[in-house]
């Protein structure tokens, strides 16, 4: 898998900006969000961060994490390969947070930053980059399920379109359960 990392815009591609663009993860790893190194990606950091980040900016009836969303996506995937993609499809958010879609649309550089981080994660876990299209299809069905179970039964108000919710109900997990489940699923898929 020798796909090049997406290029930075001229505005971001300046040494004085790049050298200051890092976060320290729970493991103590310095992760540069503009110049992400696959060697700095840690599954445990991703599991911890995603288990504690709220989907929908917290606008749900109960706390529901990005990590649980990723686990559920992996569990409904048709193949082991797609399951691994689903587990890590939002893993960039472990490093830059889960911005709501309207905010992302206003920040064109954010898409590039997120894409570069996704590239590093894909390299680390030997995943196809960019994501296969089926990942988006599963993600849309999960969205419909989440809206139905955690926000409103009125799916039309969310412009869900033709995406059918899954039949199972979403029952939110506590962060500790989500983190452990994420790691368990990841390790089983990587065997």
Residue 146 lies in a domain: yes
* Total domains in the fold of the chain: 1
Residue 134 lies in a domain: yes
Residue 130 lies in a domain: yes
Number of other residues whose CB lies within 10 A of the CB of residue 20: 9
**Which pLDDT does position 162 carry in this prediction?**
87
Residue 156 lies in a domain: yes
Residue 2 lies in a domain: no
Q: Is there a contact between 57 and 47 (Cβ–Cβ < 8 Å)?
A: no
pLDDT in tens, 3-37: 788 899 898 999 999 999 999 999 999 999 999 99
Residues 6+ apart with CB under 8 A from 187: none
CATH of the domain at 37: 1.10.3210.10
Specify the DSSP class assigned to residue 157: G
Residues 6+ apart with CB under 8 A from 163: 140, 141, 143, 144
Number of other residues whose CB lies within 10 A of the CB of residue 79: 10
Interior angle at CA 128, CA 15 and CA 92, nearest 5 = 50
**Which pLDDT does position 115 carry in this prediction?**
96
What would the mean pLDDT of 36-51 be, rounded to a whole number? Answer: 99
Asked if the model's pLDDT at residue 154 lies above 90, the reply is no
Query: Torsion angle, CA of 169/174/178/180, rounded to 10 degrees?
Result: -140
By residue range, what is the domain housing residue 60? 15-189
**Which pLDDT does position 90 carry in this prediction?**
99
Cβ-based burial of 179 (10 A; exposed 0-12, middle 13-18, buried ≥19): buried
Residue 10 lies in a domain: no
**Which pLDDT does position 21 carry in this prediction?**
97
Q: Is there a contact between 98 and 54 (Cβ–Cβ < 8 Å)?
A: yes
pLDDT in tens, 62-118: 999 999 999 999 999 999 999 999 999 999 999 999 999 899 999 989 999 999 999
**Which pLDDT does position 106 carry in this prediction?**
95
Give me 75's structure tokens. Answer: 């569990």
Asked if the model's pLDDT at residue 1 lies above 60, the reply is no
């Amino acid at each position: 898998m020798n796909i090049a990392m997406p290029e930075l815009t001229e505005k971001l591609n300046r040494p004085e900006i790049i050298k200051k663009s890092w976060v320290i993860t729970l493991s103590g790893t310095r992760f540069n969000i503009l110049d992400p190194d696959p060697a700095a990606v840690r599954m445990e950091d991703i599991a911890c961060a995603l288990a504690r980040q709220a989907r929908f900016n917290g606008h749900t009836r109960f706390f529901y994490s990005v990590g649980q969303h990723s686990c559920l996506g992996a569990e409904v995937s048709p193949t082991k390969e797609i399951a691994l993609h689903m587990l890590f499809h939002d893993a960039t958010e472990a490093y830059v947070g889960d911005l709501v879609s309207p905010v992302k649309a206003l920040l064109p550089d954010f898409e590039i930053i997120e894409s570069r981080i996704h590239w590093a994660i894909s390299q680390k876990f030997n995943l196809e980059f960019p994501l296969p299209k089926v990942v988006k299809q599963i993600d849309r069905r999960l969205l419909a399920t989440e809206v139905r179970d955690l926000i409103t039964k009125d799916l039309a108000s969310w412009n869900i379109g033709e995406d059918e919710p899954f039949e199972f109900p979403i029952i939110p997990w506590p962060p500790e359960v989500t983190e452990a489940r994420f790691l368990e699923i990841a390790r089983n898929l990587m065997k």
